Amino acid sequence: MAAVNRRDWLRGLGLGIATAAAGGGPIEGAQRATRPNQAGEKGTGATLRLVDFQPRSMLHVDEHIVERPRFPLVDVHTHLSFTRGDGTMRYSAGADEVLPVMERRGIRTMVNLTGGSGEGLAQTIARYDRAHPGRFLTFTEPTWRRASEPGYARWQGDEIAAAKRAGAHGLKVLKTLGLYLRDGGPSGKLVAIDDPRFDPMWEACGSLGLPVAIHIADPEAFFLPTDRFNERYEELANHPDWSFHGPRFPTFDALLDACDRVFAKHPKTTFIALHVGHDAENLGRVADRLKRLPNMYVELAARIGELGRQPRAARRFFETWQDRILFGTDAIPHGTSTPQQVFGDDLYKIYFRFLETEDEYFDYAPAPVPPQGRWRIYGLGLPEPILKKVYSENARRLLDLAE
């Protein structure tokens, strides 16, 4: 199956999506290291490309591989399906492929966030939720292609109620909103996250008890120039379409501020700010937002690489906000080239090790080269009461799930 191109996928969902230049070239050959000769002097012949550099740590430290979580878990952030631009669905894996891994790794329930809308949503729910009760839950999505039509605000609010009746357990908002969605085509005005046309949608979710899982920004470095000072240079050079630097995109801070205005305006709606509130590099700011916005929750998906390189601050964050943190991975069973999202045994074992052990300096993704940045992580060694909340109790409360 072909790998998922996130920019192309989101482009198909928006109303005319512009392409940005990353400002960096391909990584291959971008940096070269001179190999020393046998006498220890600097050589002048052979070179080593950065893309080929795979250093092996010389640290000798304890390793504790955790095969299963201490408590059955709910993964609130996975992608089993995707919506095409025309509203039809494609599926990354069947339940028969996913369930064996779930059994081996103690995953009680997987939440498929990108379940589509309308007939596509009904098909997705039938394929997973109804066929395997309790093992899968599906979220619906807004219909972005209709966002510029007259009467959209009321229609989209009514669609949320219809999705609830069809069996949806929440709403997923992709970063299409805020970064790609434009009125009137590619040259049109970018639609803001806090545009009032979406108020009926947020309110409907609140009145119906449907949490909103929202993703509005990527790592902060993605909004900076792809240059020698950018710690995600290698990742951005390999994926130049992931850069949001430039005048066609809002700033990172502007996106967070607009998101927070939505949360504050709709206090009866529960929002799950994905990827540690879109700001895993700044836990102090995430904590401040959690203080100000009691309807805001966060989850961990694809950000243990950030949390694990600040283990003391991360543990304090878990201790303080243990009732508002959910477990998630952003896992995709097939069709992704990003190792930190490949669904499988290895991915989950890394998450368990990060949360349950105090191991030092281990990989945050199953890959020869760290995909998000050339660093390693440290385990948090969380106590059982916090683990139980993060693994399942908080999600069960938000999603109204039985034990």
DSSP string, 15-69: SS------S---STTSSEEEPP-TTSSPPSS-EEEGGG--------------SS-
Residue 300 corresponds to which amino acid?
L
Candidate CATH numbers 3.30.1330.10, 3.20.20.140, 3.40.50.300, 3.40.50.280; the one for domain 6-20+63-399 = 3.20.20.140
Higher pLDDT, 22 or 245: 245
Per residue in 245-254, pLDDT tens?
Answer: 999 999 999 9
Q: Which residues contact 357 (CB under 8 A, 6 or more apart)?
A: 64, 66, 379, 381
Confidence of residue 21 (pLDDT cuts 50, 70, 90): very low
Average pLDDT of the residues in 284-306: 98
Confidence of residue 86 (pLDDT cuts 50, 70, 90): confident
Lowest mean pLDDT among 18-32, 86-100, 377-391: 18-32
Q: How far apart are CA 345 and CA 323, in angstroms?
A: 27
Q: Which residues contact 6 (CB under 8 A, 6 or more apart)?
A: 241, 242
- Predicted TM-score of the model (pTM): 0.90
Confidence of residue 9 (pLDDT cuts 50, 70, 90): low
